[in-house]
A and B are shown apart, each in its own frame.
Chain A
Amino acid sequence: MYKIAFDLAWKSLIRRKTRTLMVIMMIALSLSGLLFLQGLYDGMVSHMINTSIRSDSGEISLYAKQYRLEKTIDYHIDDPRAIKAYLHQSKEIDAYAIRLSGEGLVATAHKSLGATLKGVRLEDERRFGDFDTFLFQGKFDFGPKKQEALIGFKLAEKLKVTTGNRLVFTAQDASGEINAISFRISGIIKSGNLAVDEGSVFVSIETMEQFLALPNSATQIALRIKDKSQVNSIQSMLQKKFSTLDVLRWDELYPLLIEMRDMMDIFNWLSYAIVFAVAALGIFGVILMSILERMREFSIMMAIGTPYKNIRYQVISEAFIMAIAGYIIGAILGLGFLVYTASSGIDLRYYQAGLESFGLNAILYADIRYHYFFQAFASVFFATSLSILWPLHVLKKIKPIEIIQGKML
């Protein structure tokens, strides 16, 4: 019985190629749109998170207790050598960066602004988060005498300085003395992390130790964890081990990113729902049409004795053959889009200014995750099921003879 219905469904599809292809393409296009949208949203979010992790927090950061509340060098980590030795041999930790930062005033001849002076080792930062890829202009180098600095691009814009210009940084040292130090700008950093781009000047950690009169000290030790799924357990392990320090995860350090991600998730769902609704409505319309159009034919079939369940099975088969074909094509198309945008990105430089204030780069890269394809499959399945419910209901209700005689519809 089912074989006959399936056979008829198949013939209906291949002998009305235009309509069949239209429905399949409709499903495929909306599906690839859904996939693309999701990948792009997720890509935006993970890009923001990734940028913050790479340019600052790592997956986990260690601070002296109190430092997070009151960012003064009074709360620094004394002698990080023991910690460093431990981190060095730890198998869970991929890379670490020891930083000594101080708040102060950065000034040109014309203007001064509040900023953070960060003492870092460029080699460590490179290993830690490919920090050199954030270099926007100039050299990734503190010069032979370590008297050169890298500056966030927004801060540079505000100060109207560029590479080669001089800056004076003023801050209180450990003994309460106000000191000033002058740097030449060797390079400009554009990371996508607002805190870095808008308020940081990077200098060598040795220079910083001298300037603050804090030899062999650190304000932050940031860690990159090998196995991202182990972050929580490593955090509690480290907290136990270094009980005098604060051990914080990136999401605790950047709660705004999590809020942003949640907001993006809502956006994502909303646009998914809208695209889905439009697509489902389209699919519904075409399937309904294709059945109403054949009402007389189905009536004749029923009049000559074809059981209703045969016709139902035929309609279901037709719809799902198209859905599956549409899914396969849509998934391949969507995957194509995603792979392309995951590697090459979409250039949105035209909207650059707006996007950067969200901590986004001008080029967006998509994420690709397995669950997109399961979700998309479920969506297509759901939309198709919805689309045939009403037509089947209509078919079940009709009196074949009235349609054959033209008394109904």
Chain B
Amino acid sequence: MKLTHISKIFFPNSLKEVKALVDINLTFEDGEFTTLSGESGSGKTTLLNIIGGLERPTSGSVFIDELELTALSDKQMADYRLRHIGFVFQAYNLISVLTVRENIGFIMKLLRYDEAKINKRIDELSGILQIEDILDKLPGQISGGQQQRVAVARAVASRPKLILADEPTANLDSKNGERLMKMLRSLNEKEHVTVIFASHDRYVLEQSKRIIVLEDGAVIEDR
């Protein structure tokens, strides 16, 4: 995946103008486990959203395997997200009226996987993420840490090309944050999923193989 000359300006040509991203050029390989780091307001979330097709850059392009994501229509973009990108947001990721099992299966259902395949995958993931005991509970009945693990399970369930996670540990205590990261890391190794985080959380940084540091919308470090 390649980002070329990505810039994002909010409220261009007005008093409120914010240059959130300035000419970002980056390449990501399959199987990466990378964190976008930097101070608050440095542009981590904005960059992640552009990679995920949730926001459009003011200029520049995102290419994923020859496909120019930024050239797609909104509807095509939604379909692309459904098929190829898994998201984990900071909190409240789940559909409140669906059980854990139904939440994990939701994307697979939208993609018309058959029931047996869905259940097999759920069993597989719930073992790794240690959520076997809560599969029939509703999101309101489980803890924040469990909710985030369920969100991870849903994100990886259909084996998308890319998992994007914006501050997935921010609402968790250190123990649960660490646990989530370990599980994500082991999924990255076992299933070879590509994961990009936006975070300044210590546990996230510790587990990352690559860290990209942003400042005022520009990359100042990539290690």
Contact = CB atoms under 8 A, between A and B. Distances in A.
Nearest to B88: A304
Nearest to A294: B96
Given A297-B92, A307-B78, 20 more contacts: A1-B110, A11-B97, A11-B98, A15-B97, A297-B95, A297-B96, A301-B95, A302-B78, A303-B54, A303-B81, A304-B86, A304-B154, A305-B78, A305-B107, A306-B78, A306-B82, A307-B75, A307-B79, A401-B49, A404-B89
Contacts of B102: 11
A159 B188 CA distance: 104
25 contacts: A11-B97, A11-B102, A15-B97, A16-B97, A294-B96, A296-B92, A297-B92, A297-B95, A303-B54, A303-B87, A303-B89, A304-B82, A304-B87, A304-B107, A304-B154, A304-B155, A305-B80, A305-B82, A305-B85, A306-B110, A307-B75, A307-B78, A307-B82, A310-B110, A401-B49
Nearest to B95: A297
B109 interface: yes
B216 interface: no
What are the nearest 5 A-B pairs in CB distance?
A305-B82, A305-B81, A401-B54, A15-B97, A12-B97
Given A296-B92, A301-B95, A304-B87, A401 B55 contact: yes
Contacts of A296: 92
A304 B98 CA distance: 16
B183 interface: no
Contacts of B83: 305
A305 B110 contact: yes
Contacts of A297: 92, 95-96
B161 to A, nearest CB: 13
B192 to A, nearest CB: 21
B123 to A, nearest CB: 21
Contacts of A404: 89
B138 A15 contact: yes
A304 B81 contact: yes
Contacts of B119: none
What range describes how many residues of B lie at the interface? 20 to 34
A4 B54 contact: no
A337 interface: no
A49 B94 CA distance: 63
Interface of B: 45, 49, 54-55, 75, 78-83, 85-87, 89, 92-98, 102, 106-107, 109-110, 138, 154-155
Nearest to A306: B110
A300 interface: yes
A300 B90 CA distance: 11
Interface in A90-111: none
A242 B217 CA distance: 102
Contacts of B82: 304-307
B79 A305 contact: yes
A4 B109 contact: yes
Interface residues of A, number: 24
B80 to A, nearest CB: 8
A304 B87 CA distance: 6
A381 interface: no
B98 A405 contact: no
A8 interface: yes
A297 B82 CA distance: 16
A315 to B, nearest CB: 13
B110 to A, nearest CB: 6
A6 to B, nearest CB: 12
A406 to B, nearest CB: 10
Interface string A283-319: 0000000000010110011111111101000000000
Question: Which of B95, B102, B138: most chain A Cβ within 10 A?
Answer: B95
B95 A300 contact: yes
A310 B107 CA distance: 12
A301 to B, nearest CB: 7
Contacts of B75: 307-308
A359 interface: no
A317 to B, nearest CB: 13
Contacts of A326: none
A200 to B, nearest CB: 70
A404 B55 CA distance: 12
A302 B95 CA distance: 11
Contacts of A8: 95, 97-98
Contacts of B97: 8, 11-12, 15-16
B45 A405 contact: yes
A301 B82 CA distance: 10
A400 B53 CA distance: 11
A202 to B, nearest CB: 72
A8 to B, nearest CB: 7
Contacts of B80: 305
